[in-house]
A and B are shown apart, each in its own frame.
Chain A
Amino acid sequence: MIRVQREAFDVGAELAALTAGRTDIGALASFVGLVRDHADGPITAMTLEHYPGMTEKKLAEIEAEARARWALQASLIVHRYGRMLPGEPIVLVATAAPHRAAALEACAFLIDWLKTKAPFWKLEETAEAPRWVEARASDERAAARWQR
């Protein structure tokens, strides 16, 4: 399941809902991305811009790719857009499988691919002018290790 939303989310509630009523899941892996208060300098807030329509399409494709590569019992991507403050969650990725290897690998794959393939752009607010975050080569390398 994928969701793109402005509102904050409750990680515990999301994970509980993902496994509710299930007794076949042995491993639940999750990744939560948060707004930091510091990058190259202090950050007071962050705004996530996205491409409505394409964002949902790409997230669904990314999730489908994970489900094709690993035998997952459940998966979830929740990504926010709009303005958020340091400490707030930006993204949640969760994967469930009978055993930990598939859950952990698929979770890492999802966030690595999402970072380089889902159309979102971060604008950081600082004491000076707001600045658009630059794409990082390390994110490209992280995604490349999953390339087939």
Chain B
Amino acid sequence: MKILYFAWLRAKTGTASEEVSPPPEVTTVGALMEWLAASRPGFAEALARPGVVRAAVNQDYAQPDDPVRPGDEVAFFPPVTGG
């Protein structure tokens, strides 16, 4: 599974992109966030601020209950500020 981080989440986690193999019980965006946070203090810190971290699965916005599968591209980022 490919994980991408954008904007200040990239700075917080210290990486723009990583390949991960979560355990089989990680089947949702929310579970993946918790699993990643366990070994990435910067990500855990970002998650501690409620409602700030947004997610996308395979380039579509996703909610914590949405499924993730091996091979997915999952991105985490703060609220968008373009335009």
Closest approach, in angstroms, between the C-beta of B72 and any C-beta of chain A?
A: 13
Task: Name the residue of chain B whose CB is nearest to the CB of A57.
Answer: B59
Q: Is the CB of B83 within 8 A of A33?
A: yes
Interface residue ranges of B62-83 to A (CB < 8 Å): 75, 77-83
State the Cβ distance, A64 to closest chain B Cβ, in Å. 14
Q: In the complex, are the beta carbons of B7 and A116 less than 8 A apart?
A: no
Binary interface encoding of chain A residues 92-133 relative to chain B, with 1 for a CB under 8 A from any of its CBs, else 0 = 000000000000000000010011111111110000000011
Query: Closest CB of chain B to A36's CB: distance in Å?
Result: 13
**Do A133 and B75 contact each other (CB < 8 Å), given the known contacts A51-B56, A119-B6, A119-B56?**
no
* Main SS class of interface, A: mixed
Q: Are A121 and B83 in contact (CB under 8 A)?
A: no
Q: Flag if A120 contacts B8 (CB, 8 Å).
A: no
Chain A, residue nearest B82 (CB): A120
Q: Which residue of B lies closest to A55 (CB)?
A: B82
Query: Would you call A120 and B80 a contact (CB within 8 A)?
Result: yes
Decide if A121 touches B56 in the complex (CB within 8 Å). Answer: no
* Complex: A33 Cα to B25 Cα, angstroms: 45
